[in-house]
Amino acid sequence: MKRGLLERLDTDGVVCAEGYLFEMERRGYLTAGEFVPEVALEHPEALLRLHKDFQHAGSDVIQAFTYNAHREKLRIIAKEDLLEKLNRAALQIAREVAADVPAGQEPNLVAGNISNSNIWNPEDPRSQAQVRGMFEEMVAWALDEGVDFFIGETFYFAEEAYGLGVRYLGVCCGAAPIHIREVAEAMGRRPPASRYAANMRKHFMYGDDDRLPAHITAYGEKA
């Protein structure tokens, strides 16, 4: 039986992979400047691969990539007609990955995601109503697609935060699977990706393994 979010927070904590926006840009599937996650419709296999990479790195949560997938952003790129289709596609991909957990790993939770908006104005009630409306429709679609909970983007210094009692840890913009692995390891875990954690003792120039040629490690000592 899959444990819920609160139960996990009360015990060993939760790692949540975030940072999809810039990672998709780095991989060549998202337009900088626009920053709209059309990848869920145009290259769903690429988004699924990134979800799996984050899962491999130790994420407990598969977060639907709906950051910036709101009405304001879609209107700017003249694709508002794709709004619901885009949200549902991202949510369904997240659920598909969460349902396919490698043997020996605890089932993943699925999170819906809402993001900041550039039209919010604390002095303009009309803008506040617009933002509320955008969020409400995104939340409705996510609930309809069966998410376990909702989150926004977060950033913590994992080891320090975990030591202070924080039990929900993630990394936002700029994160890649390697960073999620570091968060998981800071919590005392060994996700599958830990198999490939750095082993600098074997580094050809900076290592100290006896099998490394001394004339090459000597360069490292001079660096």
135 in the same domain as 72: yes
Output the tens digit of pLDDT for each of the chain's 223 residues: 789 988 998 888 888 888 899 999 999 999 999 999 999 999 999 999 999 999 999 999 999 999 999 999 999 999 999 999 999 999 999 999 999 988 888 899 999 998 888 888 889 999 999 999 999 999 999 999 999 988 865 444 656 766 756 555 566 666 777 777 777 787 787 888 787 677 778 777 888 878 878 888 887 787 6
Question: CB–CB of 91/64 below 8 Å?
Answer: yes
88 and 118, same domain (yes or no): yes
Q: Does one domain contain both 140 and 220?
A: no
Q: Are residues 135 and 210 in the same domain?
A: no
Is residue 73 within 8 Å of 196, Cβ to Cβ?
Answer: no
The set of residues, in sequence order, having a beta carbon less than 8 Å from that of 118 and lying 6+ positions away, is 72
Q: Indicate yes or no: pTM above 0.85.
A: no
Q: Are residues 107 and 158 in the same domain?
A: yes
- Find the CATH number of the domain harbouring 12: 3.20.20.330
- Both 168 and 154 in one domain: the answer is yes
- The neighbouring-strand residues paired with 211 are none
Same domain assignment for residues 59 and 143: yes
Shared domain check, 200 and 121: no
**DSSP annotation string for 73-115:** HHHHTT-GGGHHHHHHHHHHHHHHHHT-PPTTSPPPEEEEE--
Is the domain of 128 the same as that of 222? no
- Tell me: do 156 and 201 sit in the same domain: no
Same-domain status, 168 and 133:
yes
Contact predicate 110/61, CB 8 Å: yes
Note down the domain range covering 211.
195-223
For 27-186, strand residue ranges (E) read 61-63, 109-113, 149-151, 168-171
Q: Decide if 80 contacts 71 (C-beta within 8 A).
A: yes
**Side-chain half-sphere CA neighbours of 214 within 13 A:** 1
Residues 59 and 160 in one domain: yes
Whole-number Å distance between alpha carbons of 108 and 62: 7
Number of separate domains in the chain: 2
